[in-house]
Structure 1
Amino acid sequence: MTTQETPPAPFPLLLAEVTSVQTVATLSVLTLATVAPLAAASLGVGSEAVGYQISVIYSAAALVSAFAGLVVRRWGAGTVGVLALALGLVGCLGIATGSLWVAALASVLLGIGYGLVNPSSSHLLNRFTPPARRNLVFSLKQTGVPLAGVLAGLTLPGIGEIAGWRGAALAVAAMFALLLVLFAPGRRVWDDDRSPGLPIRGNLMEGPRLVWRVPALRGFALMGFFFSAIQLSLMAFTVNMLVHDLHWSIVSAGLAVSVMQAAGAAARIGWGLLADRLRSGVAVLGGIGGLSAASALVTAGLGPSWPVPAVIGVLTVFGVAAIGWNGVFLAEVARVAPKGTASTATGGALMFTFSGVVVGPALFATLFNTVGSYGETFALMMAFPLAGAAAVLFWSRRKT
């Protein structure tokens, strides 16, 4: 539990900065997934292989998250946020080379940068957010994830058709460059509580150990693993599902995904308000798991004969559930973390979350190769949100 501190700069500026960093970082993760039907032939792989690329990104993110809290405490949250932007810029430039092997290495850089984003932002928000508004503020910041999906769906397919899929990667690189110009000069104002002498060696697993030691954190971490598996599968494969199973054009599929992501963005705010009102993030997260599982089951029935509004309706509900949970999750992790350990607990919990992303899309791609239908694969994946809801409800009631 933490108390509110007075920020060294206006709080709206802090919230805008961390939200924009979250948005562009997530956009970089989604770039290849969004233009996969255009990029696959050039790279010499099937479009479903994007699941493995996302797994590479999140494998790197998971490893970094284990000790990201220590990095934040030693070098400062502002400086670590700028480092994340720089890594994202280099990673997108690597993707744009069009080489499969360079893209693989670039994906590792994207993952390292992405693994630093939430521990640094959670450290700052937990210091300066009024406790009564914690779920709402964290949810507002986390709208950057579905907003990135909206941007990806609205812009990247069109850029890809006009300038090629490499042009889409370069466009995202330009966004990273712009944020660096805007935020790098003032980064040190947020580094006032750093501990330059803090040792890193020997403490690399401090975050996961802390999470596993505290029962409530353990439940949130396990939930994050299962929820993230279905979330990233939805974000990575919906365009492919609409093109492959329903025979939509890539531009139409991108627009539908934008609607789904916008619903997820709005839901993050709505779930945060509901959690603050009920004073129970656990109950909200449990309900989200059930709704996500039901949506995955309904998705199996989608086909070319379905009316467009009905398809978008199903995807909207799926997005509200599977994309809407992250803000409440991070706020609850910060709430139950021992005092002064918010960034460490966040990093430790996110190691589990990113591990779920590693497993989810890769497993989805493997299952798809077996069943041959994206919709039916989503139905098989409904086990993940159900398991996540069970984990958070069970461990939140345990003392040991």
Structure 2
Amino acid sequence: MSVGGPRYRWIILGIATFAQAASAFFVQGIGAMGIHLQRDLNLSTSQLGLLLSAAQLVPLIGLLVAGELLDRYNERWVVGVGACVVAAGLSMGSMAPGYLSLLLVLLIVGAGYSTVQPGGSKSVASWFGASQRGFAMGVRQAGLPLGGALSAALLPFLAETFGWRVTLVAGGLVALLGAGVFMGLYRQPPTPPVLHDRPPHASLTSRLGARLRMLRQPSMVKIMLSGTTLISVQSGVLVLTVLYLHDTTSVGAGSAALILVAAQVAGVAGRICLAAWSDRGADRHPTVMACMAAVIAGMTALMTPAGQSPLVACLLFTWLGFFGFGWYGPWVAYVAESAPPAKTGFALGLAMAVNQIAVILAPPALGLLTDLTGSFTPAWGLLSAMTAVALTATARAERLSTGRKRRHETASL
């Protein structure tokens, strides 16, 4: 397989997926370590949620910066340097004296992590055509739950055996390996695709105006509605699953972590299968809407008495893993294809930055709601209601968009 040849795209897909999994290894594993962190650092559920949000705070701005850099520079260095920052931050975190210091270190980790998501997505979009882009994007986005599944399996063991500081060192080494692999093997496609065009020179004012106009596009409205609600569900599953199983269904900490692993493995399968399914249609967004409906059904079932059964809860979290994590594959492909010419990197960064608002707010809010009520039901109910409202609004926007398109086609005949 020649470097830079058409078949090299599968190598690109592999290293982009590996870099995503490696960078997400520790960040996605914080929820699985919840019991150990609460014990060792004497944390409440809301403090644990804030710890999960700390690594996601800087990307609120960092994703926009990363998107702009990706439209101007080679993904190889933007992603690689970002993964190195993740590794350096986690290594520093192993020396943090306590909770507040760990929060500050995770802010640094978030700065590096900002480049990996949009950078890996753009590299895959650049190498794959529309007929395979959904499947390829789904495989690449499977790196997030894959890294989470591996960390959920390994980090609780490391934390129990060696302490939480060793888990940060392990996360830093994995991130460094991901950076080295991506920088060593990534190459740009042999022919510049439309998605990889360099933006034309323009004034700062005109560039800012073009960015703001992007927010008014109907496709971007659907992207933001579906993305923010489903990423909230994903955050809720990550931070609350182990605690719910331990407190409500009396499952042991080790077994609860394994169920979270199963949910994230289901998410890996979901991102690939659902994205491949989206390749079959003319529009990828109905696949995302189907995920929203499935999430509502799963959350509603979790709030019934049957949801307190260990077996039923395990099946429901696996269901929520498949759809509550799997939506991201077709969603990212939809974002890439909806982007204006020469603005793919910024569109990905913008959409992911909007998601970051929910990523930051959801874990501590859900944790605080659980602490105040002494029950997980209000948290599941809030997520279900948010998703239902977003699904209704998105479906209405879809109908209006379809109606306008048909009227336009009729008028042009």
Task: Using structure 2 for the length normalisation, give the TM-score.
Answer: 0.87
Aligned to 1:150: 149
| Matched positions, count | 394
The 8 Å contact of residues 61 and 114 in structure 1, kept in 2 or not, is answered as yes
Deviations 1:157-199 (A, max 9, x none): 1111111122222111111122233333455757997969979
Q: 1:339 to 1:106 in 2, by over 3 A?
A: same
The 8 Å contact of residues 29 and 54 in structure 1, kept in 2 or not, is answered as yes
Match for residue 343 of structure 2 among 341, 344, 357? 341
Determine the C-alpha separation between the residues in 1 that align with 2:328 and 2:210: 19
Aligned to 2:30: 32
Map 1:71-110; keep pairs closer than 5 Å. Answer: 71-98=69-96, 99-110=98-109
Q: Residue 377 of structure 1 aligns to which amino acid in structure 2?
A: A
Q: Residue 120 of structure 2 aligns to which amino acid in structure 1?
A: S
Determine the C-alpha separation between the residues in 2 that align with 1:112 and 1:200: 27
Determine the C-alpha separation between the residues in 2 that align with 1:386 and 1:120: 31
Deviations 1:109-130 (A, max 9, x none): 2222222112212222222111
Aligned to 1:383: 385
The 8 Å contact of residues 19 and 181 in structure 2, kept in 1 or not, is answered as no
Secondary structure, counterpart of 1:381 in structure 2:
helix
Aligned to 2:236: 233
Aligned to 1:178: 177
* Alpha-carbon offset, residue 35 of structure 1: 1.1
- Give unpaired runs (5+ residues) of structure 1: 1-5
Aligned to 2:411: none
Map 1:108-187; keep pairs closer than 5 Å. Answer: 108-186=107-185
Match for residue 220 of structure 1 among 223, 233, 243? 223
* Alpha-carbon offset, residue 66 of structure 1: 2.2
The 8 Å contact of residues 278 and 287 in structure 2, kept in 1 or not, is answered as yes
Q: Residue 131 of structure 2 aligns to which amino acid in structure 1?
A: A
Secondary structure, counterpart of 1:103 in structure 2:
helix
Q: Percent identity?
A: 20
* Alpha-carbon offset, residue 207 of structure 1: 8.4
Q: 1:25 to 1:178 in 2, by over 3 A?
A: closer
* Alpha-carbon offset, residue 154 of structure 1: 1.3
The 8 Å contact of residues 33 and 152 in structure 2, kept in 1 or not, is answered as no
Secondary structure, counterpart of 1:340 in structure 2:
coil
Match for residue 261 of structure 2 among 233, 248, 258? 258
Q: 1:325 to 1:160 in 2, by over 3 A?
A: same
Q: 1:169 to 1:69 in 2, by over 3 A?
A: same
Higher Cα Rg, which structure: 2
Map 1:288-307; keep pairs closer than 5 Å. Answer: 288-301=291-304, 306=309
Q: 1:202 to 1:362 in 2, by over 3 A?
A: farther
Aligned to 1:242: 245
The 8 Å contact of residues 54 and 107 in structure 2, kept in 1 or not, is answered as yes
The 8 Å contact of residues 292 and 322 in structure 1, kept in 2 or not, is answered as yes
* Alpha-carbon offset, residue 91 of structure 1: 2.2
Determine the C-alpha separation between the residues in 2 that align with 1:202 and 1:112: 26
Q: 1:373 to 1:7 in 2, by over 3 A?
A: farther
Q: Residue 252 of structure 1 aligns to which amino acid in structure 2?
A: S
Task: Using structure 1 for the length normalisation, give the TM-score.
Answer: 0.89
Secondary structure, counterpart of 2:340 in structure 1:
coil
Q: Does 1:272 align with 2:275?
A: yes
* Alpha-carbon offset, residue 224 of structure 1: 0.8
* Alpha-carbon offset, residue 106 of structure 1: 1.5
Q: 1:390 to 1:107 in 2, by over 3 A?
A: farther
- Give unpaired runs (5+ residues) of structure 2: 406-413
Determine the C-alpha separation between the residues in 2 that align with 1:200 and 1:56: 34
The 8 Å contact of residues 76 and 190 in structure 1, kept in 2 or not, is answered as no
Secondary structure, counterpart of 2:334 in structure 1:
helix
* Alpha-carbon offset, residue 230 of structure 1: 1.2
Determine the C-alpha separation between the residues in 2 that align with 1:299 and 1:278: 32
* Alpha-carbon offset, residue 379 of structure 1: 2.2
Deviations 1:207-256 (A, max 9, x none): 86253132112211222111111111111221111122222222111111
Determine the C-alpha separation between the residues in 2 that align with 1:186 and 1:178: 12
Aligned to 1:395: 397
Aligned to 1:356: 358
Secondary structure, counterpart of 1:255 in structure 2:
helix
Q: Residue 233 of structure 1 aligns to which amino acid in structure 2?
A: G
The 8 Å contact of residues 206 and 348 in structure 1, kept in 2 or not, is answered as no
Range with bigger deviation, 204-213 or 34-43: 204-213
Q: Residue 275 of structure 1 aligns to which amino acid in structure 2?
A: S
Determine the C-alpha separation between the residues in 1 that align with 2:267 and 2:237: 11
Aligned to 1:66: 64
Range with bigger deviation, 367-376 or 182-191: 182-191
Match for residue 373 of structure 1 among 372, 375, 384? 375
Determine the C-alpha separation between the residues in 2 that align with 1:165 and 1:265: 26
Q: Residue 314 of structure 1 aligns to which amino acid in structure 2?
A: L
Determine the C-alpha separation between the residues in 2 that align with 1:213 and 1:349: 13
Q: 1:72 to 1:299 in 2, by over 3 A?
A: same
The 8 Å contact of residues 227 and 384 in structure 1, kept in 2 or not, is answered as no
